[in-house]
Structure 1
Amino acid sequence: MTEPLYGEDPEPSEPFPAGPLYVPVRPGPSGCATRLFRTPLGRRTAVGFTSERRLVATLGADQPWIRLAEPALRALTAPLGVATVTVDPQFTAPAPAPAGTTPAEPVPALRVG
């Protein structure tokens, strides 16, 4: 069955490449690893930003990053079962902690705007 293509379709059936992205990473013993986040519904997602300014505004100036094309980011995260790439998330907040406890390190949660 062929997917219909409409010029006015706000959500196309096929994802299109977003271009070179600024991808948050974390240093590890073997080099850098792509950071994965969760959507408000709890699904894991890879994240990329279209500019360094947007990455810094969302995750802070201390966040390490690398440049990756969107297809390369998908190829890196697909073996981990992550099929979603969120581009330019607009909001981060610490993950909720049980009442009366303070998390040792806040874990970012993303809201896709």
Structure 2
Amino acid sequence: MARVVVWHVPVTVTGRTTSLRLFRLRDGRRCAVGFSSAGALAELLGPEQAAVVLGEPALRALTAPLGIEELVLDPRLVAPPVTAPDARPDAGHPSPRSGARLQRR
């Protein structure tokens, strides 16, 4: 019997609903990601990221109805370079007293 390799797949949990967390490739296509270990997932997405353990066939079965064909194992962070903020203390950042509030997505 062939051994099924399991992936640690990031999910979003809202109440009693668990859904796959989907990502985008550089060209804009949607993809699902998996990690070879829980440690690799936590290193990239943070220790609070919820995950499930799935075999590749199960992950493909869940994503196929969504038109997602691409699976990425152990992705790396790809983001534009971060530039240093202006050295002035008030540059680009609202004062805590200004009434501005951060919104969480």
The TM-score normalised by the length of structure 1 is 0.64
Structure 1 regions of 5+ residues with no counterpart?
Answer: 1-16, 95-102, 107-113
* Post-superposition offset of 1:19: 1.3
5+ long unaligned stretches in structure 2: 81-101
1:23 and 1:69 map into 2 onto residues whose CA distance is 10
Q: Deviations for 1:17-73, whole angstroms, at most 9, x for unmatched residues?
A: 971000000013552101100011111000000001110111001100000001100
Q: 1:104 to 1:37 in 2, by over 3 A?
A: farther
Q: Does the alignment pair 1:63 with 2:55?
A: no
Q: Which has the higher helix share?
A: 2
Matched, 1:81 2:67: yes
| Aligned 8 A contact 1:45 1:85 in 2 | yes
Task: Report the number of matched residues.
Answer: 83
Query: 1:58 touches 1:92 (CA, 8 Å); kept in 2?
Result: no
> RMSD over aligned Cα, in angstroms?
2.6
TM-score when normalising by structure 2: 0.69
User: How many percent of aligned residue pairs carry the same amino acid?
Assistant: 44
The list of structure 1 runs, each at least 4 consecutive aligned residues, that deviate by more than 6 angstroms after superposition, is none
